A and B are shown apart, each in its own frame.
Chain A
Amino acid sequence: MAGREKQMSESPSPVSAASRRSVPKLAHQLAMVFDLNKCIGCQTCSVACKVLWTREEGMEHQWWCTVNTQPGRGTPRDWEQMGGGERGSIPVPGHLPTREEFGGGWDFDFQKLFYGGGGREGLRPSSGADDWGPNWDEDQGAGDYPNSYYFYLPRICNHCTNPVCAEACPAGAMHKRAEDGIVVREEGRCRGFRFCMEACPYKKIYWNHVNQVSQHCIFCLPRIEQGVAPACARQCPGRLVFTGFLDDVEGPIHKLVYEWKVALPLHPEYGTSPNVFYVPPLAPHRLNPDGSLDTQTPRIPIEYLERLFGPLVGGALGRLRGEIEKVRAGASSEMLDTLIAYKWSSLFGPFTKDPATLAGAAAADGATEEA
């Protein structure tokens, strides 16, 4: 893993991506950092995305941004066991997640409930598989009380440096944008093969059963191109979603990822080089069987966190704890001040424009499909 450490310690060149047909020479790479120590699992990011992008017919079960309780089976159910991605540049076969595995997409029959003759059965999902949903195992976690543990993990498309989804598309419908590295899909060219869904190891691509196309997070491109932060980031009440260019060496993302090394990708072993990073979760002390504090054993087993964030997670947590101790002792910490984000707008890099100042309808009229 020394090699990996080295790789992480150096600023990447945005043009260092594999010489693959879907990856042009990049001017910049957009990225996000989610600080899991500020995430409260409120679902504002996921709902903001849902309301804005996936309310049409055929998208009922689509949540491009999800927040799940970890440990947990997540969405789609047991996605971490579904394969995809690459090991040593060799593609790993992946499972095509079904609508049932994503779950949710429920409708409810209020007409029958209120005016249907007083059956009083109680409101229930009236469509879709009702034994799983995008946040089914909320707050369940693991561990034995009082040493229970869990935390929240928001996930969007990682807009990977090595986009195996795009590579897998025989129709050539997906590519990384040269200007910012967003993995875009030209839905008009999608022929519904769904190899992208199999290939994506994060299982963040959905099948639109009405339009017969695959769909995934667009990194709020129509907002980004007008200087507005993505909805998940901008609506986050916890102020924890940093958005910006990974290669902006003065920006908080670059510092958190490369300088302070407290932000890590999820499942780096999937081999796709994600561009979404996470500040891993601290947790309260465990209790000994007699109820006294156990300050030695972490509440969340480090093996579990390593499984999610790779072998560097222990070091990241150590650095974070060290800074917190430093501040408690009266010193200051640039790292923690960055994570505090005294000014909300400092989270968003160059994307600080107020959406209310956009040209409204003109935004649609003047737009053209990118090359």
Chain B
Amino acid sequence: MDRYRGRLAFDAVHWGTHCTNCLAACPYRVFTAGGRVVYEEPAGNLAQVEPGVPDMNPMSCQKGAAFSEKLYAPDRITHPLRRVGERGSGRFRRVSWDEALREIADAIIDTIDEEGCESIVFEETTEGGLMCWAPYLRFASMIGAVTLDGNGLINDFLVGQYMTFGKFSGASSVDDTFHSKLIFLWHSNPATTSIPYHHYVSEARYHGAEVICVAPDYNSSAVGSDTFVAVRPGSDAALALAMCQVILEEGLLDAKFVREQTDLPLLVRSDDGRFLTARALGDGGAADDFYMWDEKDGLTRAPRESLALGSLQPALTGSFEVQLSVGGESETVKVSPVIALLRERLASEYTPELASRVCGVHPELIRELARKAARLPTKILSGYNTPKYYHGDLMERSMVLLLALTGNWGRRGRGIQGLCVAGLDGYFLFNVKSKPGLAQTEQIVAGIAGATSALREKDPGLTDEMAGMQLLQSATAQGTAAPPVFFWYHHCGYREVWNNREWNDPEMPRPFDDYFAEATEKGWWAGVARPGPESEPRVLFGVAANTLRRTRGARRQLLEKLWPKLRLIVSVDWRMTSTGSQADIVLPAACQLERPNVQYPLTHSMRLGFSDRCVAPQGEARTEWEIFRALSEKVAQRAGERGITEFRDARRQLRRLDDLGQRFTADGAFCDEESVIDEWVRDSAVTGTMPPGTSVATLREQGSVRFTGMGVFAMGLSVAADVAPDRTLTAFEWHVQRGVPYPTLTRRAQFYIDHPWFLEADEALPRHKEPPAMGGEYPLLLTSGHNRASIHSVDMSNRVLLQTHRGRPSCVISPRDAAPRGIRDGDTVRVANDCGSYQVHAKVSGAVRPGQLILYNGWEPYMFAGWRSSNDVEPGMVKWLHLVGRYGHLRYLPFNWQPVPSDRAVFVEVQRSDDERSRAPGARSALGAHPLEAVYANGEKEHV
């Protein structure tokens, strides 16, 4: 037993959190001995927040338990590498840091000199925590490079929530789930993907909540549910809308909530489908002044300063006549509240019986769930699965509509889960500060207050949140962030893909290019559509960004079309990835636990998680701060030597290169992680997101710090809730309990989008549309979801975790689909469609819906034969409507409104890979063979 006792020996204990892209900030204790991590485990030091609500301990998962394996793993990069063979040949040689940095600096200077700084492109990532992210963004902004919007790249943008709320930050703290009495696990599989938090679901169930799992397959979250709703993949909008129909039909509507919080009482014109506006009425108001029909006083301008209606009682039914002023002439037009249009639509197309034919859920079950949602505090725990569907926006809008009609957000235990980055205002301040210290911080905070007042003078209804968004938009116009859709279109060959009519919504009225051209000509994306067609990309940086793994269609589009244009590809990472193996220079970065770091601050846990330098970096690895500091110095040095000391960027701004080194550190003040983090948290105390006196020493003492406020920036304000030390956080309380308007066009939760493109597409109201035939006409529908054993690809190479599954990528197929194809468990199969094909190990499971094929996300292409992976069959389609810009809240904001590519519901065929019979594109069958489909076989043709 002594041998085992010795295993527990350590000589120091440190704080560590793993800063992976789960964005959880689990406080871990890291035990080290002799300069090595020997083991680690959750600290379990979180105090109970609200009496009667379980505490958040321990916050852990298997990836955390095995994290330190990575430090000493065989895929670790310990020295700078320079490619010596062809790209991707696997032939590298060790070079010195100086040699590597000099080559990179020269490539940067050459590119600035020959093509311009916009030809230098950084792929943003949310991997690695803020000390991975901040250094390269600081460097990129100094040289005027383009940074591709991380959320556009990875597509965790909840499009439909954004369209409805003007944000997708309805992210209550995870413990708020304990207050729920009806929990929908819908488009998410939290038992697999939210491991540290999922206990709140099982505990809420023991506290009286019913748990409803809505999913096509019997997934790990279904196991702990009360009702498994076996929905046909891609049909969730139909299911949600049918529940909405029941609410309206059975008089279960929360009319007060709907009148006050939503656009449903606003009047829409019958002639053109647009909202009735003050401008159309000649009422002296603006194009964004909208109207209701008060049951007593008739036509009434909707209040803009507050959601509170006072004595107003807007009509929720009927149609009315109003006099418009058209070119001085009066014209009569009929108007109806949005909800009247909705009611009509639902009654004619989404009765439970009609919807059941689409979604495969029994009408009585639909009714029962709707009645429960109307009666109980209801929460939808959705994840980031919806935006990966082509029509995910429609699904989300429909799901939120259900919550609206039942008054289910803004109060404890209610709402839909989004994401809110908040609590570390110092991070945002850092980007505008030129020097350290609180004096400048106070100036900036005063400046924000002043700017907000100035904006409010022009628009008295403007909330702090809206003002914050406007300020962020102005900053973005000067910044580096760009939605990647333009880069992909102009430089990576996606133009051809997106113009494939067959892979788009068959209801798309015009070719994709028509819309792209219109959006460009009208300037909807002016200033952020970078690099433009005239700026060929030349240098590509990926810092912990595994571009070739995560981009839909990457091998085909990026390796074949983008790579040849690039002068230099740099991968900065602690491990060799599928992308690093195709790079020219690979720089060894420090891993977590080798440098001070903080995780992205989220309202999920309400804590900033700290990770210390527990051990020195392996080999010659350096932290990202050191790397970009050294690169700044090297560029400055080479610029001086080459006589290229300044240049003008595409915005005609003069930029200097010869002082980059000084500017990077603010003349030595920000020499390392410690100094930067200290600045962030001290500044956060100034704006009130952290307790007074918080410093890096506080983090080092406690491991994490609970937020005390949501600060002064738009991102924090958008959760619209007060922070109390002894209460769970409930998103959108300010809207519901104080009548604070939403940052949307109508300043209400908006279910009607009256933009001409949406009207043309018949998507002004939420509706169901079938997934388009992405990939071609094939019988199986490929879906995905986060992998249990890995956060994206980051843990895929962990030798311990590889043993917790089959040690290789595997797709999961129903026995009903496997048998006719002669596929047995363990066979290697080929998955193919018109885009391409890959081979993969097959798992046969009755938990999968017939007609569905699952390949979980995150497998490295290098784990597949020929390094051809799921992205070989993904076209990476974007939905044309998301190119709308500058219309109310439909305008670019980093991490927010922008087109994002889909990968769920790609159509494929599967065959045993030893069975190379010619693959005949089969007719696209009904999606799956749910027993209901037989029941309704005599019904109408499916809604395809």
* Chain A interface residues toward B at CB < 8 A: 37-38, 40-44, 46-48, 50-53, 63, 104-108, 110-111, 113-118, 120-125, 130-131, 133-136, 138-146, 148-152, 184, 186-187, 218, 221-223, 231, 234-240, 281, 283-285, 287, 289-293, 324, 327-328, 330, 333, 336-337, 339-345, 354-356, 358, 360-361, 363-364, 367-370
Contacts and interface: CB of A to CB of B under 8 A. Distances in A.
A141 B846 contact: yes
Q: By CB atoms of chain B within 10 A, which of A37, A145, A235, A361 has the most?
A: A145
B711 to A, nearest CB: 29
4 closest A-B pairs by beta carbon, nearest first, are A291-B362, A344-B57, A146-B230, A40-B191
A237 B58 contact: yes
Contacts of B66: 47, 50-51
B210 A328 contact: yes
Given A43-B804, A290-B932, A358-B8, A340 B865 contact: no
Interface stretch (B36-44, B438-446, B614-622): B36-44
B206 A53 contact: no
Given A140-B845, A235-B58, A237-B199, 8 more contacts: A40-B195, A43-B804, A47-B804, A136-B806, A144-B846, A333-B206, A358-B8, A360-B13
Contacts of B29: 354-356
B75 A138 contact: no
Contacts, number: 333
A133 B807 contact: yes
Contacts of B273: none
A139 B845 CA distance: 8
Contacts of B199: 38, 237-240
B60 A237 contact: yes
A336 B808 contact: no
B376 to A, nearest CB: 10
Nearest to B198: A40
Nearest to B42: A235
Contacts of A121: 865
Given A115-B90, A117-B90, A291 B61 contact: no
Nearest to A366: B5
7 contacts: A37-B202, A106-B807, A118-B85, A134-B804, A138-B788, A293-B368, A356-B13
Q: By CB atoms of chain A within 10 A, which of B31, B69, B368, B800 has the most?
A: B800
A231 B41 contact: yes
Contacts of B847: 139-141, 145, 148, 150
Contacts of B812: 139
A114 B90 contact: yes
Interface string B189-221: 001100110110011011110100100001111
Interface in B794-841: 797, 799-808, 812, 814, 816, 825-826
Interface in B158-209: 191-192, 195-196, 198-199, 202-203, 205-208
A27 B44 CA distance: 30
B536 to A, nearest CB: 28
Q: Chain A at the B interface: mostly helix, strand, loop or mixed?
A: loop
Interface stretch (B45-53, B107-115, B661-669): B45-53
Q: By CB atoms of chain B within 10 A, which of A42, A327, A336 has the most?
A: A42
B88 interface: yes
Nearest to B29: A356
A110 B33 CA distance: 27
A3 B816 CA distance: 46
Nearest to B864: A122
A51 B800 contact: yes
A333 B205 CA distance: 12
A47 B198 contact: no
B383 to A, nearest CB: 15
Contacts of A144: 846
Given A47-B800, A141-B847, A293-B365, A324 B58 contact: no
Interface string B500-511: 000000000000
Nearest to A290: B935
B862 A344 contact: no
A110 B70 CA distance: 13
A125 B8 contact: no
Nearest to B209: A328
Contacts of B826: 131
Given A110-B797, A123-B860, A46 B808 contact: no
B941 interface: no
Contacts of B53: 342
Contacts of B362: 287, 290-293
A48 B41 CA distance: 8
A342 to B, nearest CB: 5
A284 B802 contact: no
Contacts of B192: 40, 42
B576 interface: yes
A146 B218 contact: yes
Nearest to B825: A140
A43 B58 contact: no
A48 B65 contact: yes
B97 to A, nearest CB: 20
A150 B843 CA distance: 15
Contacts of A116: 90
B866 A120 contact: yes
B225 interface: yes
Nearest to A339: B206
Nearest to B227: A284
Interface string B1-32: 11111111111110000000000000001010
Contacts of B803: 50, 63, 104-106, 133-135
B7 A222 contact: yes
Given A37-B202, A105-B803, A145-B814, A123 B862 contact: yes
A159 to B, nearest CB: 15
A130 B826 CA distance: 10
A368 B846 contact: no
A166 to B, nearest CB: 15
Given A118-B89, A145-B230, A291-B365, A130 B846 contact: no
